[in-house]
Structure 1
Amino acid sequence: MTLVRWTPRTTLGFRNEFDRLFGSFFNTSDEEETSLTAFSPAVDITEKEKEYLISAELPGIKKEDIKMNISDNQLTISGEKNQEQKIENENYHRTERVYGSFQRSFRLPEISDQENISAEFKDGVLTVTVPKLKESISKNIAIKIK
């Protein structure tokens, strides 16, 4: 019987090793690369007693470039992050900022008050407030049988 030394690896370690292996296969340079292909804003959704809050990070986007609509009980936030004009004859070493159109959609809960949704855009963060409908108070009603 042959004994083989076992070295446990974490999932993250395995992923890093996998990325390194395939990164060197597809990449001819040893430089660090960030593969960002599309702009998709980060979003937080929280629930409070009377409302839901959706906060989307939209840095570098103008308020005029953001659109919101509701269709089929789904809230859609869309827009475009425009690229600053690059100066010709500049020697860029790296450009990592991502530009382009984006769209995020969220299914609204049945108890959301779609008529009173509001939004505020401040310091690059869009905060959407989705009020909850007032839930009907259930009552026990005795029904007489004839």
Structure 2
Amino acid sequence: MRTTMLTPYWKNADLTSVLWNEMDRFFTDFGMSPFTSVYDERAFSPRYDINETADHILFSVDLPGMKKEDIKIEAVNNMLTVSGEHKKYGFFKRSFPLSASLEIDKAEARYENGVLELYLPKAESAKPRQIAIQTGQGGFIEKLLSSRKNNQELKDVKVS
């Protein structure tokens, strides 16, 4: 286990950020940090957007001044992790929980003009479907009602 000094309290930092930072450091000691340090001098947190449609999820991560070779993307145990090292700002790591309904094998990534875009398509089973409303006879409800009627008629028949 690594030993670290206490994180200093910044006058402008709110208590929530300090608590998240301490929780991150605690989990990091055990090799399972789910968070990125908010005030760690060695790390920075790039801005990101997540857009979801019926067909896919698009992650956009702002990484200006970085090279494609310095960025790493991993998907493990329904967790997407984007990490890398910026010459000026240092190491970064962002993790996002993923739904099991995404087709990770068909994911695509593109880095252009300082923006990393990750396209994750949804599985066909996860896409919304319209259900037609039937009118008149011949549908499932009609079959169900006629089945009940036939069962009732069978019960009413007396065996001699």
Task: Give the TM-score of the pair, scaled to structure 1.
Answer: 0.58
Q: Which residue of 1 aligns with 2:63?
A: 58
- How many residues are treated as equivalent by the alignment? 99
Q: Secondary structure at the match of 1:109?
A: coil
Match of 2:99 in 1: 109
Q: Deviations over 1:101-143 (max 9, x none)?
A: 1000111112111111110000000000010000177997x89
- 1:53-83 CA-to-partner distances (Å, cap 9, x unmatched) read 0000001110000000111111100000013
Higher helix share: 2
Q: Which has the larger radius of gyration?
A: 2
Q: Deviations over 1:17-68 (max 9, x none)?
A: x85xxxxxxxxxxxxxxx8843110010010121000000001110000000
* Amino-acid identity (%): 39
Structure 2 residue identity aligned to 1:128: L
| Mapping for residues 40-59 of structure 1, pairs under 5 Å | 40-59=45-64
| Structure 1 partner of 2:27 | none
Q: 1:106 corresponds to which letter in structure 2? A: F
| Highest RCO, 1 vs 2 (Cα 8 Å, sep ≥ 6) | 1
Q: List gaps (5 residues or longer) in structure 2.
A: 1-10, 13-38, 132-139, 148-160
Alignment match of 2:82 (pick from 77, 84, 91): 77
Equivalences for residues 8-19 of structure 1 within 5 A: 19=12
Choose the corresponding residue for 1:130, options 94, 115, 120: 120
SS in 2 for 1:102: strand
TM-score, length of structure 2 as denominator length: 0.53
Moved over 2 A (4+): 35-38, 136-140
Distance 1:63 1:124 in 2: 9
Aligned CA RMSD, in angstroms, stands at: 2.8
